[in-house]
């Protein structure tokens, strides 16, 4: 293309016929030379021009559009009226897809010499290629063409998503292999480089497609993903965000999804379009929800419950007070309480009519209400040492117990959950703390059976495959008299048990150990027959770091013939038949920033390791270096290398091989990461690291910057 050299000193662009100009102000001080043109008046030449054009030519030859563009823009800041630089900037901007920026430059400068570039811009806009298509082309292209395509994809992603790129870690957070796709997509947990938990969604080829920050994720349909309280339609990219601590619920026919929390919405799964917004004023912030078939939904909280009909767009039933829903969703019980007395009402939701009602005593605000799994009984615990049981749907009442001040029933222990088993036991999750435990108290037997409160055996109420069940357990310990059984803790996750029972109820397991000054020692895993107390297997656990005895949760769980527990940084698997154990070291999620204790003398260190900050190599520490004022540990755990206000970088150290260097100009340099472990996140859309590499990472590597920085402080 023929280069033209022009000069416009009038703000707002060039005017006049043929583009000729009469300067109205003095030439720019950066213009130090003058060349002659046979067609135009002599023009000032910017001294940075040739160097910038040569550097751009080299970068374009390597396919580096992003860096060529950046160098040219920087040169234009020093040479704002140089037409040769202007033309080259517009040319590169069009090729990379920066259509808006090129349009601004061409609109500002109406010089007819730029008309070929205007035609090229119109053609490029007409033939625009999507970002995903550019990435696909780059995967099979030669290195130079691939680099050019990735730099074009960078701008395409920004244009499509309307957000710039960020860095995200795409490897499996638990160092597991990436799962195979199920249907169109696969899903695995991941992290960003600040340690925030997220989820990678990959396409059918296993290529990362999207990344969402959140603690939990699950597919509701093949295309519909729920991440915490965000619903995402993956095919269209439409998202619905509604703050809620509760999972979105899919209707039985898969057509509709309920998003409940501060507001209550029913959405179509096909496109997340709104079907209805439910008026939940009567129950406040809905804490639980459930579909009753495909056209009705039940919502409830501590304030009450409502039943909403999608077809008629109405609340067909609203009740206030404590509520319980039967296992099939047919019956709804509600207790409207007043000081000293309350009204218990059971509704049949098939007919939306009252099945029966009864007046019951009320003592305080902590009370329990539950149906049995077979829906034949409803129990009410007023938390005063008594229980009232009703047949369903008949409403025949049975009273057991008597008001008592026994500490075992004293209302200081709040009733978290209530259960009634099919064989007539009444259990409750009771605690004086905020959270309950996975081991529930057996309070009553509606059939009059003894509860074995004394003697060598006790009853435990534990979850089973068909609901709650009561099993006779030995009191223990079983391995040795000098040990004791570790109780389950009161934790938010009530499934975090120190006792486990298999589905058949034939094998149970717990942990035993010695208490020495409040700490656990000599831990043993015991597998036994709960009916006879006979020990089946016994396994000594590895002694790890010391733990306070009453602050441990090992998450015992049976899965078929395998018993699993978590112990410190290990996972122990025991074959329930043979008794053989396999202990695996549980790798921490990666990357995990090192906990630095200090920095100085060109080093940073933890209790066991030290890093040479010149080369970012780690070694085992022998003598602790001395801190100095050129290094400081930041609140986020990174080490800042700076002197006298001249900052080199902020460095997050992960392990001996991995680090992330952040520079004051906003660029960053990942060290030790494989290319497929990193990605560019444009909002929730993920692209390969190669797409944003030349935007986010610097041209000059860390060692060269360190050398220049160090030379400046000698």
- Rounded distance between C-alpha atoms, residue 208 and residue 202, angstroms: 4
Lowest mean pLDDT among 301-315, 555-569, 692-706: 555-569
Predicted confidence (pLDDT) at residue 392 exceeds the cutoff of 90: yes
8 Å CB contact between 427 and 440: yes
Residue 428 pLDDT > 60: yes
Q: What are phi and psi of 345, to 5 degrees?
A: -130, 135
Instruction: Express each pLDDT in 352-389 by its tens digit.
Output: 999 999 999 887 676 789 998 889 999 998 877 788 99
401/228 Cα distance (integer angstroms):
43
Taking a C-beta distance cutoff of 8 angstroms, is the pair 225, 216 a contact?
Answer: no
The CA distance from 709 to 703, in Å, is: 10
pLDDT of residue 3: 33
For the residues 416-431, what does the mean pLDDT come to? 83
pLDDT at residue 200 tops 50: yes
Which of 66-70, 436-440, 538-542 has the weakest average pLDDT? 436-440
Q: What is the mean pLDDT of residues 648-660?
A: 87
CA distance 214 to 187: 13
pLDDT at 644 over 80: no
| Neighbour-count burial for 640-660, b at 16+ CB within 10 Å, e otherwise | bbbeeeeebbbbbbbeeebbb
Question: What are the pLDDT digits (tens) for 3-24?
Answer: 332 323 222 333 333 333 333 3
The more confident residue out of 350 and 495 is: 350
Output the CA torsion 600→605→606→608 (10° steps): -140
Q: Using 50, 70 and 90 to split pLDDT, how confident is the model at 405?
A: very low
Residue 28: which pLDDT band, with cuts at 50, 70 and 90? very low
Dump pLDDT digits (tens) for 460-513: 888 877 778 888 888 879 998 888 888 776 554 444 678 888 988 889 999 888
Mean pLDDT of 203-232: 87
Flag whether the pTM goes above 0.75.
no
Average pLDDT over residues 435-449: 78
Q: How confident is the model at residue 150 (pLDDT cuts 50, 70, 90)?
A: very high
Return mean pLDDT, the chain.
81
Residue 1: the pLDDT is 35
Cβ pair 348, 341 in contact under 8 A = no
Count Cβ atoms below 10 Å from residue 381 Cβ, excluding itself.
24
- In the predicted structure, residue 25 carries a pLDDT above the cut 50: no
Q: What is the mean pLDDT of residues 578-595?
A: 76
pLDDT-based confidence at residue 402 (cuts at 50, 70, 90): low
- Beta-bridge mates of residue 703: none
């Amino acid at each position: 293309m023929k280069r033209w050299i022009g000069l416009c000193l009038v703000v707002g662009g060039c005017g006049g016929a043929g583009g000729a100009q009469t300067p109205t102000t003095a030439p720019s001080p950066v213009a130090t030379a003058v060349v002659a043109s046979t067609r135009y008046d002599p023009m000032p030449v910017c001294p940075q021009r040739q160097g910038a054009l040569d550097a751009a030519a080299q970068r374009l030859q390597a396919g580096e559009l992003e860096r060529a563009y950046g160098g040219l823009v920087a040169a234009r800041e020093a040479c704002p009226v140089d037409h040769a630089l202007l033309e080259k900037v517009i040319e590169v901007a069009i090729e990379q897809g920066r259509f808006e920026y090129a349009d601004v430059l061409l609109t500002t400068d109406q010089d007819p010499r730029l008309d070929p570039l205007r035609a090229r811009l119109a053609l490029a806009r007409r033939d625009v290629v999507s970002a995903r298509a550019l990435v696909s082309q780059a995967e099979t292209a030669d290195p130079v063409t691939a680099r050019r395509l990735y730099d074009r994809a960078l701008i395409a992603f920004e244009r499509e998503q309307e957000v710039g790129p960020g860095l995200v870690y795409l490897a499996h957070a638990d160092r597991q292999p990436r799962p195979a796709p199920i249907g169109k997509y696969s899903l695995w947990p991941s992290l960003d480089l600040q340690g925030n938990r997220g989820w990678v969604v990959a396409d059918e080829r296993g290529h990362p497609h999207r990344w969402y920050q959140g603690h939990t994720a699950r597919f509701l349909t093949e295309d519909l993903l729920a991440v915490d309280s965000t619903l995402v339609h993956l095919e269209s990219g439409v998202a619905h965000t509604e703050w809620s601590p509760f999972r979105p619920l899919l209707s039985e026919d898969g057509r509709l999804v309920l998003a409940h929390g501060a507001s209550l919405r029913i959405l179509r799964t096909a496109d997340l379009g709104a079907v209805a917004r439910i008026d939940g004023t009567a129950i406040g912030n809905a804490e639980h929800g459930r579909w009753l078939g495909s056209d009705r939904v039940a919502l409830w909280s501590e304030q009450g419950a409502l039943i909403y009909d999608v077809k008629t767009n109405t609340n067909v039933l609203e009740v206030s007070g404590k509520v319980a829903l039967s296992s099939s969703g047919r019956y709804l019980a509600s207790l409207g309480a007043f000081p000293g007395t309350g009204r218990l009402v059971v509704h049949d939701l098939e007919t939306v009519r009252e099945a029966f009602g009864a007046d019951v005593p009320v003592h305080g605000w902590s009370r329990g209400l539950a149906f049995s799994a077979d829906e034949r009984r409803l129990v009410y615990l007023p938390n005063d040492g008594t229980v009232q049981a009703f047949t369903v749907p008949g409403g025949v009442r049975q009273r057991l117990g008597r008001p008592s001040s026994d500490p075992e029933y004293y209302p200081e222990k709040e009733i978290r959950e209530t259960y009634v088993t099919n064989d007539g036991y009444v259990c409750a999750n009771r605690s004086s703390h905020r959270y309950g435990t996975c081991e529930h108290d057996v309070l009553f037997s509606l059939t009059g059976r003894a509860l074995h409160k004394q003697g060598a055996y006790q009853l435990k109420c534990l979850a089973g495959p068909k609901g709650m069940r009561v099993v006779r357990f030995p009191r223990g310990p079983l391995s040795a008299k000098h040990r004791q059984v570790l109780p389950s803790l009161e934790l938010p996750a009530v499934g975090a048990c120190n006792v486990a029972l298999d589905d058949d109820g034939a094998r149970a397991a717990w942990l035993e150990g010695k208490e020495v000054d409040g700490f656990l020692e000599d831990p043993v895993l015991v597998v036994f027959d709960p009916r006879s107390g006979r020990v089946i297997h016994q396994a000594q656990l590895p002694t790890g770091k010391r733990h306070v005895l009453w602050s441990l949760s090992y998450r015992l769980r049976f899965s078929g013939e395998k018993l699993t527990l978590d112990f410190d940084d290990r996972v122990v698997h025991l074959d329930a038949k043979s008794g053989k154990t396999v202990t695996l070291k549980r790798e921490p999620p990666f990357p995990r920033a090192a906990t630095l204790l200090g920095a100085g003398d060109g080093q940073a260190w933890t209790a066991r390791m030290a890093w040479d900050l010149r080369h970012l190599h780690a070694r085992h520490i022998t003598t602790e270096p001395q801190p100095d004022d050129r290094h400081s540990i930041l609140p986020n755990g990174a080490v800042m290398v700076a002197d006298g206000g001249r900052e080199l970088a902020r460095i997050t150290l992960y392990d001996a091989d991995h680090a992330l260097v952040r520079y004051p100009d906003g660029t960053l340099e990942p060290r030790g990461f494989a290319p497929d472990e990193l990605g560019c996140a444009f909002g929730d859309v993920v692209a390969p690291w190669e797409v944003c590499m030349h935007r986010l990472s610097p041209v000059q590597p860390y060692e060269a910057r360190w050398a220049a920085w160090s030379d400046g402080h000698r």
